[in-house]
Structure 1
Amino acid sequence: MISTRSPAQSGLTRLALALALALGLAAIVPALAAPPSDADINRLLSASRAQSMLDTMLPQMEAMQRQQFQQVAEQRQLDDAGKAQLQRIEQRSNETIRKALSWQQLRPMYVELYKKTFSKEDVLAMAEFYESPAGQSLLDKTPALMQDVMVAIQAKLQPLFVDLQKDLNAIVNEETAPAAAPAPAKK
């Protein structure tokens, strides 16, 4: 069959088809990048053990804070009343942190941030991974890995801190050294 269309009509037909295809794809893309539902995100948070990770992080934060309070007590050579006051401040601080970082406070924040950051497909894929044996193995081994990473980083930084301490001591000694007598003026 011989086409009776002119080249201009064929071009318009192709343009119309291309436009229809583009509009069709534009309608599909938002459906593909649909936001995750609260249920999708809750599935991911459960599979990734987000709450238990938070629960194990809080005692570590409290231990670091306890060390800081002990250092303050040692540096200031507090009497018993000062130590008791510092202990009350530490307890109040722990209560505030525990309340602010409780799962009931943070879960809604997680949900909103995950919705803003990930698509439904992302969230479902991550949930499926964390529900898999490989994902569970990752979750089981991550705390030990992070502990090893922290030890390795501390070992790497220790020589740097020694050098930094030497530099700081040199700077402090320069500032506290008596000023040298001015050189005699040349004639």
Structure 2
Amino acid sequence: MRQLPFRSRLLSILGLLLFAGGAWAAEPSEADIEKLLVASRAESMLQAIIPQMEAMQQEQFRQLMGDQPLTPEQQAEVQRIQARTNEIVRRTLAWDNMKPMYVQVYRQSFSRDDVRAITRFYESSAGQALLDKTPALMQNLMVAIQEKMVPMLEELQSEAQNVSAMPAPEVSPPQKRRRK
């Protein structure tokens, strides 16, 4: 019987180890993931998004309508459309509809050990503080980012003006081919 060269044997062993590596990381159970979802307040965070989405939709409607005056019938129609779109958003983002997706994505993304460690973190006082302070953190980040954006937008506007002040390149018309 012929033996494989050392390099081939080494590659085979490494391949087996890599293949088996996926089996070493145990998949989280649904109960593990549900415990994480509760600890991380996933449901309440999802529900907090809904009013924000509705406010964005309302602003979009306002922008679409502009300054044009609407008749009472048109106003009623806009309100009916807004109510319908709000209903669709609420139905789509209802926890009962979204939870299976969360479980599936968490199962695909994390091992059982990851889920359990993340759950322990969210159950800790530091994890709870993170959850409690995340809305304020996000608000503060948005303010800070907007402050950074103003000078950047001014710089971009200046660059755009410089580009528009440049003379246009000369373009010569294509030459016609002569037929032989």
TM-score, length of structure 1 as denominator length: 0.69
Residue 81 (str. 1) matches residue 73 (str. 2): yes
Match of 1:102 in 2: 94
Q: Determine which of 127, 132, 153 is the counterpart of 2:124.
A: 132
Where in structure 1 are there 5+ consecutive unaligned residues?
1-17, 172-187
Structure 1 position 74, deviation (Å) = 2.6
Q: Deviations over 1:161-183 (max 9, x none)?
A: 56778969xx8xxxxxxxxxxxx
Structure 1 position 112, deviation (Å) = 0.3
The SS at the match of 1:34 is: coil
Give the partner amino acid of 2:125: P
Q: CA RMSD in A?
A: 3.0
Match of 2:114 in 1: 122
Structure 1 position 29, deviation (Å) = 4.2
Give the distance between the partners of 1:39 and 1:118, measured in 2 at CA. Answer: 14
Q: Deviations over 1:16-46 (max 9, x none)?
A: xx9xx98x97897455301100000000000
The SS at the match of 2:66 is: helix
Match of 1:15 in 2: none
Answer with 1 or 2: which has the greater Rg.
1
TM-score, length of structure 2 as denominator length: 0.71
Residues 73, 83 of structure 1: 8 Å contact kept: no
Q: Determine which of 111, 124, 134 is the counterpart of 2:103.
A: 111
Give the distance between the partners of 1:136 and 1:66, measured in 2 at CA. Answer: 33
CA gap of 1:143–1:86, structure 2 versus 1, over 3 A, is same
Give the distance between the partners of 1:165 and 1:76, measured in 2 at CA. Answer: 30
Structure 1 position 61, deviation (Å) = 1.2
Residue 47 (str. 1) matches residue 34 (str. 2): no
Where in structure 2 are there 5+ consecutive unaligned residues?
1-9, 165-180
Match of 2:26 in 1: 34
Residue 56 (str. 1) matches residue 48 (str. 2): yes
Give the partner amino acid of 2:51: P
Give the distance between the partners of 1:164 and 1:96, measured in 2 at CA. Answer: 39
Q: Determine which of 128, 148, 170 is the counterpart of 1:156.
A: 148
Give the distance between the partners of 2:111 and 2:148, measured in 1 at CA. Answer: 39
Give the partner amino acid of 1:61: M
List, as ranges, runs of 4+ consecutive aligned residues in structure 1 with deviation greater than 3 Å: 24-32, 158-168
Give the partner amino acid of 2:97: Q
Identity %: 50
